[in-house]
Amino acid sequence: MTDVRAYRADPRTLKGVGSRDTGRIRTCARALAGMQKEAVIQYGPTGSVWRLVCDEGPWLNGSDLAPFPLAFFAAGAAASFISAFLSESGDRGIRVDTLGLVQDNFFTMEGSAVKGTMVAGVLPTELRLSVSGAAEGAVFSDIAAVALRDRSPVESCLRQSLSSSFAVRANDMDLVWPDQAGATVAGIADPAVAFGQLKPLSNDGGQLIRKRSDDAVESLGGAVGLAAEQKRTVHVRTDARLRDDGLKSIIVQCIRPAGSRFEFLSDDSRAMGGHERAPCGLVYFSAGVAFCFMTQIGRFAQITKQQIAGYRIVQDTAFRLARNCTACASAVETLVCLDSAETQDRSIRLVRMAEQTCYIHAAYRTPTKTECALK
């Protein structure tokens, strides 16, 4: 069952870089059996390390045991906005008694994998906010607008056009990436080393991600995501609320194609005034980028019958945290390590197509404006 724990790692092999005002997050991820992936993520400003696991639903012949990649993206976006809303309310001295939101995210996939024309897209996020406290609705609407515009690093990311950069290594040999190179990650060791040195801090922590199995919905579409030709829209819905203990409860479900519901708990990092009892929104969001990209590597390799024995990534994401400045995000840098019997050209094409068909890399490169309404 899905679990999240804080982990300790050798700082020489897993080290995030950042200050208290810049959250640099390093994600090491590897493919497991089937469509499952595992990531270890270090949040730079505090050094906390989290282990997260991911799976896919029946639309990609996954076992549906852990959240799908876009669930991490959606949970991270919702947690980031709630934190931004509370920060803005607190700075204005306005009490918030209850806070909840419904968030709808839409993604598109169209084209041919074999011809290389398949591309992912993203549509604007839709938010419906419910809030009560010591202010009128118009004041809370203004707080929400400022939170979206100035205080949420995730929302800043979605508004920008950010081009991802890569370094590719196949069978321990560096390949020439023809586009913008990921200079920061190019010289990093294969993350297989980091996974071998992980040690859990404790085994008595609570379960911070769980499947709401009683709400599971059977998918009727089969493995639609593995078709070589695509023209479809994916719809993910998030229902989040602030609990009395300050944790955020975030329930995410894929609506189209139909899938199970997963609950995430989130807390602000100590760098942002939280207690770090659970991953913050930026950790979940960064995990979503890594997991979605890795799904596309495996998916494209399967469709085009490439011989890939294993693959791992090291991914850097960075966000300026809003205190006395406007929040913003930087482009993703990723080192891809392949165990492959393919030529260099086919290995490069595999990574290029994985980025091209990754929904969250599409969200980075495509500016969108979140639509927010107060219920």
Q: What tens digit of pLDDT does each residue of 283-304 get?
A: 999 999 999 999 999 999 999 9
Distance CA 171, CA 163 (A): 26
Q: Which residue has the tokens 């390949």?
A: 175
Residue 24: strand pairing partners: 318
Stretch 124-132: mean pLDDT = 97
Residue 93 lies in a domain: yes
Say which amino acid occupies 287.
A
* Higher per-residue confidence, 86 vs 323: 86
Amino acid identity, residue 346?
R
Q: Does 352 fall in a domain?
A: yes
Is the pLDDT assigned to residue 198 strictly greater than 80?
no
Using the predicted structure, report yes or no on whether residue 321 has a pLDDT greater than 90.
no
Selection from 360, 326, 375, 296 nearest residue 129 by Cα: 375
What are the CA-CA distances from residue 375 to residues 95, 132, 151, 372 (Å)? 18, 11, 21, 10
Q: For residue 285, which amino acid is it?
A: F
Helix (H) or strand (E) holding 74: helix 69-91
Q: What's the pLDDT score for residue 12?
A: 41
Per the model's pLDDT, the better-predicted residue between 2 and 220 turns out to be 220
Its pTM stands at 0.93
Q: What share of the chain has pLDDT > 70, as a percent?
A: 89
3-state secondary structure of 134: coil
The three-class DSSP label of residue 115 is: coil
Give me the domain span that covers residue 162.
Answer: 7-374
CA distance linking residue 285 with residue 71, whole number of Å: 9
Strand (E) or helix (H) holding 140: helix 137-146
pLDDT of amino acid 219: 47
| Any domain includes 156 | yes
Mean of the pLDDT values across residues 126-152?
A: 96
CB 59 within 8 A of CB 224: yes
Tell whether 339 is covered by a domain: yes
What domain count does the chain have?
1
- Predicted confidence at residue 183, as pLDDT, reads 84
List the structure tokens of 56: 């896919």
Task: Give the orientation angle of helix 281-303 with respect to helix 344-356, to 10 degrees.
Answer: 130
pLDDT exceeds 60 at position 338: yes
Q: Within a domain: residue 252? A: yes
Range in 14-23, 67-76, 274-283 the model is least confident about:
14-23
Cβ–Cβ under 8 Å, residues 220 and 256: no
Per 3-state DSSP, the chain is made up of helix, strand and coil in percentages (nearest 5) of 30, 35, 40
What does the pLDDT average to over 73-97?
A: 97
The whole-chain average pLDDT of the chain stands at 89
pLDDT at 100: 97
CA torsion sign, 235 to 27 to 76 to 8? positive
Task: Give residue 256's pLDDT.
Answer: 92
pLDDT range class, residue 196, cuts 50, 70, 90: confident
- Give the pLDDT band (50/70/90) at residue 320: confident
Among 68-72, 98-102, 165-169, 209-213, name the one with the lowest average pLDDT: 209-213
CATH of the domain at 139: 3.30.300.20
Residue 330: inside a domain:
yes
- Token pair for residue 256? 């189209």
Report residue 214's pLDDT band, with 50, 70 and 90 as the boundaries: very low
Residue 250 maps to a domain: yes
Categorize the per-residue pLDDT at 15 as very low, low, confident or very high, splitting at 50, 70 and 90. Answer: very low
The verdict on residue 1 lying in a domain is no
With contact defined as beta carbons under 8 Å apart, do 361 and 294 qualify?
no
